[in-house]
Amino acid sequence: MSRLKSAIWVSAYVRRCQVEGAYALVRRRGSEEAGAIVIELDRLDGRVALFGPAPQSAFDDAAPERAFCPLHANDTVTPAEAEAILARELEFDSDLWIVVVEDRAGRHFLDAVVPR
């Protein structure tokens, strides 16, 4: 089974966030076909959480299309810390997508989040 293209997944994810009442936008477009995706969850109170692709070893074959894990040890980080993490991720992967979700309740709408 082939994996859903990143551009299609991101489009569907942004739409899902909007349907749930959260504001979502694509901050950075990556590779249309297979770029990694990072979700930046802004709680609008000075707290941010980042979720990136989970390592393949973190889930089994029955896992959903994409699984995510936190990109930091604490539940949230400051916006400045988030920017530093994103800068490091971009140095590693120039095809990276960044999707920003603004939700005061901290809902990320990701189907699978595995511990770091």
**What are the DSSP calls for the chain, one per residue?**
-PPPPHHHHHHHHHHHHHHTT-EEEEEE---TTT--EEEEEE-SSS-EEEEEEPPGGGS-TTS-S--EEESSSSS-B-HHHHHHHHHHHHHH-TT-EEEEEE-TT-----S-B---
Calculate the alpha carbon distances from 29 to 9, 20, 55, 63, 98 in Å: 12, 23, 22, 25, 7
pLDDT by position in tens, the chain (length 116) = 457 899 999 999 999 999 999 999 999 999 998 889 999 999 999 999 999 998 865 555 555 567 899 999 999 999 999 999 999 999 999 999 999 999 999 999 998 778 76
- 6-102: CATH topology: hypothetical protein tt1805 (3.40.1530)
Whole-model pTM: value is: 0.89
Query: Given this model, what pLDDT does residue 65 score?
Result: 65
